[in-house]
Each structure stands twice: as C-alpha cells, then as structure tokens.
Amino acid sequence: MSSKPRPRLREKAQVLDDVALDRALTRIAHEILEKNAGSSGLAFVGLRTRGVTLAQRLAARIGRIDGATLPVGTLDITLYRDDLDMRGAPVIRGTDIPFSIKDKTVVLVDDVLFTGRTVRAALDALIDLGRPRMIQLAILVDRGHREVPIRPDFVGKNLPTSRRESVAVRLREHDGEDQVVIQEPEEA
Amino acid sequence: MAWTRKDLLTMRELDAAEILTLVDTAASLQEIASREIKKVPALRGKTIVNLFYESSTRTRTSFEIAGKWLSADVVNFSISGSSAAKGESFVDTARNIAAMSPDVVVVRHSSAGAATLLARELPCSVVNAGDGAHEHPTQALLDLLTIREKKGHFEGLGVAIVGDIAHSRVARSNIHGMRKLGMTVTVAGPPTLIPPFVQELGCKVAYRLEDAIRDVDVIMMLRLQNERMAGDLIPSLREYARYWGLSLDKLHAHARPDVVIMHPGPVNRGVELSPEVADGPYSVILDQVSRGVAVRMGVLLLLAGSKSAEAA
C-alpha cells in the first residue's frame, strides 16, 4: 500500500492456495454467524479493491448457509488517509454504500491487515455515513506490525512477516486465480 | 492518470486524459452531497482563498462549499472594502495574500490572463474562476460532467453553443474541452457576436438558431454579456429574443426529442431562454449547478491534496 518507489519483488512462498483460501472464508462466515447469533442486522462493507470482492464472497457464503440476502457496500478511504499529502495526486474511486448503516452490525472487510492505518481511516469514513450499532473487522491475512491499536474480529490467516516483505492477495475476479503469497525485494 | 499540475488555468492547456481525470474525480465525489454529514477530512489544515474581482454567486459559493466539504479553511476576499479599492495593484494584493501561506488561490478577474499572471507570481496553486472573456475551466468541467451523466459518453456527441460567443469565456473553455473529447461543436449567434477565431478551434458556425439546434445532443444557451460589450452589437433586446431566444415552439419544431438544454447562468428569462424551456423537462440547468460543487471539490483535491503538485 506504500507509494514509495518499490524495488522489484520476487515470490518467496505461497501462504494460501485456492482451497485453503476458500476454507478460510467459509470458517470466517461461520464465525460471523456464531458471534452475531445469526445474520439479522448484518451488513458488509469492503475496502477497495479486494476487500469488496471478499465482502461479496462472505455475504454470498452466509446467504448459502442461512438463506439471508445481506447488503454489501464499497468504501473508498482515500479522503480519510492520514498520509494524503505524502502521496501523489489522490485517485478517488468513490464510496458506494446503497443502504443505511444506521443501527446495523457492519462487518468491515479487507484483504491484508498491516499497520492498521487503513482500518483507522475506514472507521472514520464509516462513522461519517451514520451510526452503526457495531463495527466488526474481518481480514483475510493479518501480517502484524500494527502502528495503531486496531484488532481484527475475524482472521483468515495469521502470518508473521518482516517489514521488508509484502503480502499479495490474488483473487479470481481481479487476478484470475485465488492465492496468497509472500514477496520480498529482489536485491535482498 | 496522475495529476501533476500546480495550477488549473485553462482548458486549452489540458490534454484529454487530464480532463477525464478531473471529470472522474468529480464524479466520484458527488456522493458526498447526498450524505447526512457533508464533510470529509481530506483537506484538513489547508487554506483556500477566494479572490474575486468580479461579481459571482454560483462560482464563489460553490468553491466555498466545495472547500468546506473537504474540511479546508475557506477565506473570501471581495474587492469592495478591500485594499484594492484603496489603489493597491492586483499583483501586490495577491502577494500579500500569498504571504499568509494559503494552499490554493481561486481567482476571478475581468482581465484575460489574470490567473496565469498570478500562477507565475505565487508559490501556491492558482485556480482560474474566470478571466475576462478568456476562459472559465471549472464551468466547462461541470458542463462536461453533466453531459456525460445525461448522455453516457462524450465521443461523437453534437453540441450547439448559442448566443454571445464573442464575450463568453464559458464558450471558449467548453470548445477546447469538447473538441479534445471528440465532440462536434456548432456555435451560433448574430454575426457581430461570433468571433473570427472559432473555425480555427474546429467549430462549425451557424447564423440561424434553427440550423444550429437541428440534430444536436446538447444545446448550450448563453447570456448576452452586456458588461463586456463595447458599442451596439445587436439592434435591440427584443429583436435578439425573437431571433435567438429558445422557445418551446422552436425546440419542438427543430430539435431532437432527447436534447438537453444547458445554461451557465445567470439566465435572462425571456431573452435567451423562455421560462417554459428554462424550467421544462429538457433543462439540466440546476443539475449543472449541483455538479459545480463536485467539480470544484475535485479540482481543489487534486491541486491541494498532493505534494507532487506543489513540487511540480
């Protein structure tokens, strides 16, 4: 997520393949239902771009489990970043949450949890849209190195990494395949 | 595509990709207008000065609202009651304002090139909010955003711009923008109000309203800019209204049923537009005004929201 000129990356290891990724999402879906005692009042909000896809998959999975159709929204947190003027010109792709989040239990979904600053910005962005009853955080990969006190409620995979590594989540809808890999700078 | 300019001065200097970046950014910011809490923190701590040497309702207000919705501090400076009224020169006034470290100065002035002059003199970003009869880029951008929302695309659309082309900065900015996006532009008006340069900009010219509005997707009606006219360019207002005013009858007789009618405002009802047309189903005049806030948010965000713009 950093805008610093990045060195070329080489793939170090595969962390999740398509089967493991699918299993992790199924487990998260069940955990969400368990923690909230069902799906009533639930809504999903994904962080652009891959968080949205994961949110859609989680909502569909819960729909298959208990028959509910749950709303899914898209959040663009660019306007809430704390490093807006350290980056290049902002690219705004827009927030699209076509339902009221007031009094809902909103499950915020993102692919990778790292410093926590993106989620911090997402919480501000979400609360500006209304007052949800509760906000929970679902993450596919938690790679550690938090810089703010943020903790996920649902985690697909805890993955200890070093700061110089990066985690790439690839999803069928965007990248043609489902997998999570760790990458490291080539000249290391 | 990445935005790299320090200032927004003219549509003429922008390329199609830059115009689309501005329009797309504005489009995705529109959603803020429908929120319960119309404020995002993107420009917190930034200062925007509105420096208006000419009267304006829409443009100044919409820059002010745009800045405030992005959490910037917006200061309005108007000529009456200022040191400019006491004889201070334009550049001196601007340098004094710049000494207070604003991030963006939005300037409107009756002289063409005023914004370009300031952009050269000041270290902060400068936005041209209208310079004489030269350009008014944010108006053209909001017109383009409105057109894309109504028609879905730009390429191949036909537009008629009707009225006082000679004194219109709106026409000039729109012609540059529309031509770059692949639209066909016909300008129309009494010969005294059609400037000689328009063919060089790739426009067709019509000298009858009926010819201009046939088969176009968009009709843009302009006000007679009496404040900029030197001498008698039209015989009488009544005659102008009769030949160049757009009435429902003329619209039904000559224009396409899916045409949209635009006007940059202020409208002189009964002159260039009959009230039934201005308030009727073809009119998107108030849509233009609401898009204006989104466009100005987009411009302020791209100029003030990035370090690279200042360094460029």
Complete DSSP assignment for B148-191: HHHHS--TT-EEEEES--TT-HHHHHHHHHHHHTT-EEEEES-G
Query: Taking 90 as the threshold, does the pLDDT of residue B190 lie above it?
Result: yes
* CA-based R_g, chain B, Å: 19
Same domain, B252 and B129: no
- pLDDT by residue (tens digit) across B244-279? 999 999 999 999 999 999 999 899 999 999 999 999
Task: Flag if B31 and A95 touch (Cβ within 8 Å).
Answer: yes
Domains of chain A, start order? 9-83+96-185 (3.40.50.2020)
Laid out side by side, the sheet with B218-221 consists of B204-206, B184-188, B158-162, B218-221, B260-262
Query: Taking 50 as the threshold, does the pLDDT of residue A78 lie above it?
Result: yes
- pLDDT by residue (tens digit) across B5-47? 999 999 999 999 999 999 999 999 999 998 888 999 999 999 9
Cα–Cα distance for residue pair A46/A173, rounded to 1 Å:
15
Domain count, chain B: 2
Burial class (CB in 10 A: 0-12, 13-18, 19+), B204: middle
Say if residues B50 and B63 touch (Cβ distance below 8 Å).
Answer: yes
Same domain, B91 and B44: yes
What average pLDDT does the segment B52-62 reach? 90
Please state, as a whole number, how many other Cβ atoms lie within 10 Å of the Cβ of residue B236.
9
B 159-198 → A contacts, CB under 8 A:
none
Same domain, B89 and B106: yes
Closest residue on chain B to A86 (Cα): B307
What is the reported pLDDT for B230?
67
What residues in A contact B42, CB-CB < 8 Å?
78-80, 84, 90
Query: Taking 50 as the threshold, does the pLDDT of residue B309 lie above it?
Result: no
Same domain, B115 and B152: no
Residue B7 covered by a domain: no
What is the reported pLDDT for A84?
77
Residue B227: band (very low, low, confident or very high) from pLDDT cuts 50, 70, 90: confident
Residue B150 covered by a domain: yes
- Percent of chain A topping pLDDT 70: 94
- pLDDT by residue (tens digit) across A20-70? 999 999 999 999 999 999 999 999 999 988 999 999 999 999 999 999 999
Residue B11 covered by a domain: no
Same domain, B246 and B295: no
SS (H, E, C) B22-90: HHHHHHHHHHHHHCCCCCCCCCCCCEEEEEECCCCCHHHHHHHHHHHHCCCEEEEEECCCCHHHHCCCH
Same domain, B205 and B116: no
Cα–Cα distance for residue pair B305/B40, rounded to 1 Å:
13
Same domain, B162 and B273: yes
Residue B1 covered by a domain: no
Same domain, B170 and B296: no
Query: At A184, which helix (H) or strand (E)?
Result: strand A179-185
Q: Which two tokens stand for residue A28?
A: 């998260």
- DSSP 8-class letter at A89: S
Shortest distance between the Cα of A51 and any Cα of chain B, in A, equals: 19
Residue B10 covered by a domain: no
Task: Flag if A89 and B42 touch (Cβ within 8 Å).
Answer: no
Residue A88: band (very low, low, confident or very high) from pLDDT cuts 50, 70, 90: low
Task: Flag if B31 and A96 touch (Cβ within 8 Å).
Answer: yes
Same domain, B145 and B235: yes
Same domain, B145 and B263: yes
**pTM of the predicted protein model:** 0.88
Query: Taking 50 as the threshold, does the pLDDT of residue B115 lie above it?
Result: yes
- pLDDT by residue (tens digit) across A146-175? 999 999 999 999 999 999 999 999 999 999
Residue B28 sits at the chain A interface (C-beta within 8 Å)? yes
Laid out side by side, the sheet with B73-78 consists of B73-78, B47-52, B104-109, B125-131
What residues in B contact A96, CB-CB < 8 Å?
31
Mean model confidence pLDDT for chain B = 92
Task: Flag if A76 and B2 touch (Cβ within 8 Å).
Answer: no
- pLDDT by residue (tens digit) across A114-154? 999 999 999 999 999 999 999 999 999 999 999 999 999 99
Task: Flag if A89 and B305 touch (Cβ within 8 Å).
Answer: yes
What residues in B contact A88, CB-CB < 8 Å?
2-3, 306-308
Residue B219 covered by a domain: yes
The ipTM (two decimal places) reads: 0.77
Site of tokens 């304006």: B56
B29, B32, B149, B306: best to mutate for the A interface, most A CBs within 10 A: B306
Cα–Cα distance for residue pair A73/B214, rounded to 1 Å:
43
Same domain, B131 and B211: no
What is the reported pLDDT for A6?
64
Residue A8: band (very low, low, confident or very high) from pLDDT cuts 50, 70, 90: confident
Residue B207 covered by a domain: yes
Say if residues B60 and B116 touch (Cβ distance below 8 Å).
Answer: no
What is the residue range of B215's domain? 137-288
Same domain, B68 and B112: yes
> Residue B75 belongs to a domain with what CATH number?
3.40.50.1370
A74, A83, A92: best to mutate for the B interface, most B CBs within 10 A: A92
Task: Flag if A80 and B40 touch (Cβ within 8 Å).
Answer: yes
Residue B2 covered by a domain: no
